[in-house]
Chain A
Amino acid sequence: MPAESGSSSGQIIISDFGAFVGKKSERLIIKQGKEIIEQVPFHNLQSLIISGSGISISADVIQECMEHGIQIDFLTFSGKPYAKLTSPGLSGTVITRREQLLAYYEKRGLRLAKAFIEGKLRNQQGLLHYFARYRKSENCETFDVLSNMENQIADMVKELETIDGKCVDDVREQLLSVEGRAGAIYWGGIKKLLASNIEFETREHRGANDPFNSLLNYGYGILYSTVWGAIVLAGLEPFAGFIHTDRPGKPSLCLDLVEEFRQRVVDRTVVSLVNRGSTIKLQEGLLTDQIRRKLIENIQERLEAKETYRGKQHKLKTIIQLQARRIASYLRGETDYKPFIGRW
């Protein structure tokens, strides 16, 4: 079994125990024992993800990756990113960071926080709408329930607009309350959509031990790394967020920006995966290798898929990058910030 999937997209994921990642000439070489499993020119590589244990990587690879601007991410088996290697020269302009930190105490921070949540809610609404549409003819009852949920979330978007204050700190409680209530409705809707295809009670964030939550968490892990990469490349500070509070080791800004992409990139993929009839079981509390691979493949396809963004077609992963840059230019006072809302 090859160690990665989707190498055509420039993203390589290595997850096989005992794999060795080395460099030969200008190529990345993945070996299992003495056998070369895969080789990719660094030129064709965009990011490298190491997920799993028992994998070794040579210093030459690290150097070459940094010179080519390729970030290396390390994920645990459950998809949680625990390390990221980036070039130290890549800290962007200082002015962006200064502004980012200042913005927290001003209206600008609140504006961003509201935009992220608005993006999240509208995409949640969109996703319910998207899946409900297919059920319109065959299952009227589900369709009605889902439409009703859509409307409730739409009301919350309106409620969100009325929240105002001097800075995020003043109104965080209110923001989180809206977000939480919308989330509860949304996951209720998802539960309805999954019907009896998979066992799913409620959304659990960490240490989930049911298959559906595990799939989501693994998917979000990949999304986090992508968003984190985009944030670093845009010259922003990943640890200084707006909705999420500061805590050592918590990449708040990544968590903030991720909100508007969760539904489009991960939720939709996972729901389709389950509803298309893949059997998903856990082995000793972890997703099986096979299903993990399938998920990675589907999420990468999603990130490669084109979407309309400001009147133009872009790959979703490019849109993530563009949104990160948009945050930076908003903070520098050059443009306005609008969340990414897919056309569902």
Chain B
Amino acid sequence: MNTLVIYDIPSTKIRNKIAEACMDYGLDRIQWSAFLGDINHNRREELEARLKKVLGRRAGNIQIFPVCEKDLGLRVIIEVRKEDERIGADSKSRKRRKCKDRPDEKQKEE
């Protein structure tokens, strides 16, 4: 199931930990505080538990959305980007860009 995770967390340390957890579950970063990827039901619940634990009783808001294939296909991306403002900067940029161009297709390296 496609899953969207977005969050708003003031503490940088915790924010980074949340991002790490999302990456551990194979989600792709689509914005600084937004991750998207295909994970199954069980893994999503695992991730939910882990995010809950990381945040603990600190301030923050995390939202996890299941998104169906059909709705994801209707996704629109409006983007203007300058060379030095890419998400994830340096190395990851190439992959990210690709992901944005073709949101539905699985990323495949050439």
Instruction: State the A residues within 8 Å of B (CB).
Output: 2, 4-5, 7-8, 24-27, 35-41, 43-44
Contacts and interface: CB of A to CB of B under 8 A. Distances in A.
B91 A26 contact: no
Contacts of A2: 109
Given A37-B91, A41-B26, 6 more contacts: A5-B109, A8-B106, A25-B21, A41-B23, A43-B24, A43-B25
B25 A39 contact: no
Interface string B89-104: 0111000000000000
B109 A7 contact: yes
Nearest to A44: B26
A35 to B, nearest CB: 4
Contacts of B91: 35-37
A39 B43 contact: no
Nearest to A4: B109
Interface of B: 20-21, 23-26, 43, 90-92, 106-109
Nearest to B24: A26
Contact of B92 (A7, A8, A36): A36
B3 to A, nearest CB: 14
Nearest to A5: B109
11 contacts: A8-B108, A25-B23, A27-B24, A36-B91, A37-B91, A38-B109, A41-B25, A41-B26, A43-B25, A43-B43, A44-B26
Contacts of B108: 8
Contacts of A43: 24-26, 43
Name the 4 nearest CB pairs between A and B, nearest first.
Answer: A26-B24, A2-B109, A35-B91, A41-B26
Given A35-B90, A35-B91, A36-B92, A41 B24 contact: yes
Contacts, number: 32
Contacts of A37: 91
A43 B27 CA distance: 12
A35 B109 CA distance: 17
A25 B109 contact: no
A103 to B, nearest CB: 40
A2 B109 CA distance: 7
A5 B91 CA distance: 18
B23 to A, nearest CB: 6
A65 to B, nearest CB: 15
A44 B28 CA distance: 14
B10 to A, nearest CB: 22
Contacts of B43: 43
A61 to B, nearest CB: 15
Contact of B23 (A8, A27, A35): A27
A25 B24 CA distance: 7
A11 B109 CA distance: 13
Contacts of A44: 26
B43 to A, nearest CB: 7
B25 to A, nearest CB: 6
A170 B20 CA distance: 61
A25 to B, nearest CB: 5
Nearest to B20: A25
Contacts of A35: 90-91
Nearest to B88: A36
Nearest to B108: A8
